[in-house]
Structure 1
Amino acid sequence: MQNKLTIAVSALCFGFSSSSIAASPSEKQVIAHYADLAHAVYQDARITAQALQTEIKTFIDQPSKNGLDKVKQAWLQARVPYQQSEVFRFGNAIVDDWEGQLNAWPLDEGLIDYVETDYQYELGNEGAKANIIANPSLQLGAETLDLSTITPEVIASLNEVGGSEANVASGYHAIEFLLWGQDLNGTNSGAGERAYTDYLNGDQCTNGNCDRRGAYLEAAAQLLVDDLKWMEQQWASDVQNNYRQTLLDESAQQGLRKMLFGMGSLSLGELAGERMKVALEANSTEDEHDCFSDNTHNSHYYNEQGIVNVYTGRYLRQDGSTLSGPSLHDLVADKNTSAAAKIEQQFEQTRQQVNQLVVSAESKGQYFDQLIAVGNKQGHALVNKTILSLVNQTAAIEQAANIIGITSLNPDTADHEF
């Protein structure tokens, strides 16, 4: 099954036209619209996660190859809004503290299910081969954990069990692994190839424990939906005493700083650094973001789109409508139109450059894990060019910050040098 999304990348290419309000927006209006964007993105993430949950239930009730393909497609669709939400993570502690349960990676998948005997995992991780699905109890040191019934609460409790960050039991990537299985192709073509028969009960079950595997998949989907519902409410305008209210009660300078810091940190330390530079320098498919499904190119693209969304104040929703309003771009253009035009150009150049990873995968058959392979000079050049464009974009974000009076932004580099 190819990783094709029903929302084409080109559909997300919209311009930097000023918002439709008559006068230049106030800083407080821009921050309020930022909260509106966050709410819409998390709402779409919740809606698509519920669609994924529905497909999972249908599949578990009657497993088939076609059913598994539908679940995979639903997972891919669910990634589209969620990846655009990560720009809200940096600068907003409530998001950063929460997101690990939904999007932590890389993970030692042997914690969850069967793996090849020679699979790579974090040295010293006691849980790296625990295989929760095969074992109704887990012995870690002197402690015995009861796993006889797999529930969302049990799965949540197993994150970072034994003190290892590689023990990721929940979230998009745990579900991804349960759908695709390990990608055993290394830097060669191909994603994971888990058979639908891993979910058949009785004599037709492959690799054992099909009932527990199905229970785990359903519980992980429920936990994902519950977590997204909670975050959606944190940004809702009709909920009292939530994070949105806290943000709007802060000074305009603090709100703008959070917006710009989030954009710069995702652009530089996270996307250019953790998600591209680390994998490229180590030639490591284990450090590929959506490593089981080979969806990493889309993951990177929608991270970048999320950055653009916040700057432009525009977001293309899952229903095809566009949310738009007062933006950082409006504030910059009001202060310096020529600088705003150059900053706009850099954002568009970077968006187009990250899109080249999508073109490489979907049109040329060269996925991110192949681009980072040892000896792939053209692939390395493409990834390096993308990293450089993200670095240049971060400089443009800092310039925009200075123009509207936010100095010493210092986006997070995640300890990478660029």
Structure 2
Amino acid sequence: MKTCFPHNTIAAVILSLPMMAQATTKQEVVAHYADLAHSVYSDALVTAQTLDKTIAAMIANPSAQTLTAARVAWKAARVPYQQSEVFRFGNGVVDDWEGQLNAWPLDEGLIDYVAGDYQHELGNDGAKANIIASNKLQVGNKEIDVTKITPQLIAGLNELGGSEANVASGYHAIEFLLWGQDLQGTAAGAGERPFTDFVKGDGCTNGNCDRRADYLAASAQLLINDLQWMEKQWSAAEVNNYRAELLAEPADNGLRKMLFGMGSLSLGELAGERMKVALEANSPEDEHDCFSDNTHNSHYYNEQGIYNVYTGSYQTVNGDLLQGPSINDLVVKKDAKAAADIKAQFETARTQVYTLVEAAEKNNQHFDQLIAAGNKAGNRLVNQSISALVQQTVAIEQVAKIIGVSNLNPDTADHQF
């Protein structure tokens, strides 16, 4: 929300800013962090509910227009959710939960039909199970009745047979059902599932359209259920939830969780798992939003989430700006010059990762094209983003030292940078 001041009060506001920063306490920063988390998860829930409505409308009346509307709603739902991932690594309640919503890459043959040359994880018994075309699954000695597709059934099929590639639920399962496989490799183009895959009766393509619709609807409902639970974990209106537990801890513990989450997302996850792995393998199968070609946005909003926590700010989906006591305020109080340099590093990283968005939107060079073996300029752009994220993590470690948080050690996910 844009705040406007009468002209004669501007000087007073500017003069008060250093005092506001000096008044910031560690406890206030952690409490505002919880407010940020609650706001982000609330937005993720609202956008998931909108997605559910557009999916229901598409199922009721399949057409090119209703399928497009559902795809647009899916992309909109990714905006707040990707900003929530900064809360993962430091908070076990989030990290233990997030796999059901955002696990990837997935062996999509577990869920639905795939192309004949489909490449899947070796040794995965569920890789071609095709739940949508089946009434029962046989995995090892275990037989599972999948006649009725429900949110509970789908949740229970995650990591079927012990394989992490068996992802049955979450944003990427829904993405696959809305777009289908992206068969373009590193060439331009995303998945091209026809709306007729959801037409019941005459006109159904690729069979089992009724079950495909049931699976999509149940997946959308499960997403809502999971987000409702997490929103309550951060709500000040709830008792005995994770927020209460976090705020009862010493403030330095809360700050360590904040910084560890920022550093681990910046380094091991975003620079490593989501960029470096895909780039080194030149593999579109390893890009984050591989069916929709939305990876550039998911990467950018991950970085925006890191920036949000550092600055204590978040722009909600309705356009309001939530702002409050921040880690940056604590650094300013200790060392104003270092604070300026560190803030500049965060700005540099955010600007650099945004070049991936510009490449997609201005030049039609999506992430799967940027990582192609012969695309030297694209490879360079991704490498520059990786380098900026590594330098941002160095800045995060510097912040920890300045404000007195020890033993940070952000997760590298076993990557060397």
1:362-377 mapped onto 2 (5 Å cutoff): 362-377=361-376
What are the Cα deviations for residues 70-99 of structure 1, in whole angstroms up to 9, with x where unaligned? 000000000000000000001100100000
Sort the Cα spacing of 1:51 and 1:18 in 2 relative to 1 into closer, same or farther, 3 A.
Answer: farther
1:8-157 mapped onto 2 (5 Å cutoff): 21=20, 23-157=22-156
Q: Are the equivalent residues in 2 in contact too, given 1:112–1:131 (CA < 8 A)?
A: yes
The 2-side partners of 1:273 and 1:388 are apart by: 11
Give the aligned partner of residue 256 of structure 1.
255
The 2-side partners of 1:68 and 1:299 are apart by: 21
Q: Are the equivalent residues in 1 in contact too, given 2:21–2:333 (CA < 8 A)?
A: no
1:354 Cα deviation (Å)? 0.1
Give the aligned partner of residue 167 of structure 1.
166
SS, match of residue 107 in structure 1: coil
Give the aligned partner of residue 223 of structure 2.
224
Matched, 1:352 2:373: no
1:24 Cα deviation (Å)? 2.1
Sort the Cα spacing of 1:396 and 1:115 in 2 relative to 1 into closer, same or farther, 3 A.
Answer: same
The 1-side partners of 2:210 and 2:19 are apart by: 54
The 1-side partners of 2:72 and 2:182 are apart by: 17
1:390 Cα deviation (Å)? 0.3
1:408 Cα deviation (Å)? 2.7
The 1-side partners of 2:316 and 2:340 are apart by: 26
The 2-side partners of 1:70 and 1:22 are apart by: 44
Give the aligned partner of residue 334 of structure 1.
333
Give the aligned partner of residue 391 of structure 1.
390
SS, match of residue 224 in structure 2: helix
SS, match of residue 363 in structure 2: coil
The 1-side partners of 2:105 and 2:34 are apart by: 29
SS, match of residue 237 in structure 2: coil
1:20 Cα deviation (Å)? 9.1
Give the aligned partner of residue 243 of structure 2.
244
SS, match of residue 202 in structure 1: coil
Give the aligned partner of residue 235 of structure 1.
234
Give the aligned partner of residue 377 of structure 2.
378
1:52 Cα deviation (Å)? 0.1
Matched, 1:301 2:307: no
Name the TM-score, length of structure 1 as normaliser. 0.95
403-412 or 177-186: bigger deviation: 403-412
SS, match of residue 405 in structure 2: coil
The 2-side partners of 1:374 and 1:124 are apart by: 27
The 2-side partners of 1:247 and 1:335 are apart by: 24
Count of residue pairs the alignment pairs up = 402
The 1-side partners of 2:339 and 2:300 are apart by: 23
The 1-side partners of 2:318 and 2:17 are apart by: 23
Sort the Cα spacing of 1:196 and 1:159 in 2 relative to 1 into closer, same or farther, 3 A.
Answer: same
Q: Are the equivalent residues in 2 in contact too, given 1:65–1:196 (CA < 8 A)?
A: yes
The 1-side partners of 2:21 and 2:375 are apart by: 52
1:314 Cα deviation (Å)? 0.3
Give the aligned partner of residue 7 of structure 2.
none
Which letter maps to 1:411? P
Q: Are the equivalent residues in 2 in contact too, given 1:103–1:171 (CA < 8 A)?
A: yes
SS, match of residue 97 in structure 2: helix
Q: Are the equivalent residues in 2 in contact too, given 1:269–1:415 (CA < 8 A)?
A: yes
SS, match of residue 114 in structure 2: coil
Give the aligned partner of residue 5 of structure 2.
none
Which letter maps to 1:190? G
Give the aligned partner of residue 176 of structure 2.
177
Name the TM-score, length of structure 2 as normaliser. 0.95
What are the Cα deviations for residues 196-254 of structure 1, in whole angstroms up to 9, with x where unaligned? 00000112000000000000000000000000000000000010000000000111110
1:136 Cα deviation (Å)? 1.0
Q: Percent identity?
A: 67
SS, match of residue 66 in structure 1: helix
Which blocks of at least 5 consecutive residues in structure 1 are unaligned?
1-16
Sort the Cα spacing of 1:20 and 1:163 in 2 relative to 1 into closer, same or farther, 3 A.
Answer: farther
What are the Cα deviations for residues 339-367 of structure 1, in whole angstroms up to 9, with x where unaligned? 00000100000000000000000001100
Which letter maps to 1:285? P
Q: Are the equivalent residues in 2 in contact too, given 1:19–1:330 (CA < 8 A)?
A: no
Give structure 1 regions of 4+ aligned residues with deviation exceeding 3 angstroms: 17-23
Which blocks of at least 5 consecutive residues in structure 2 are unaligned?
1-15
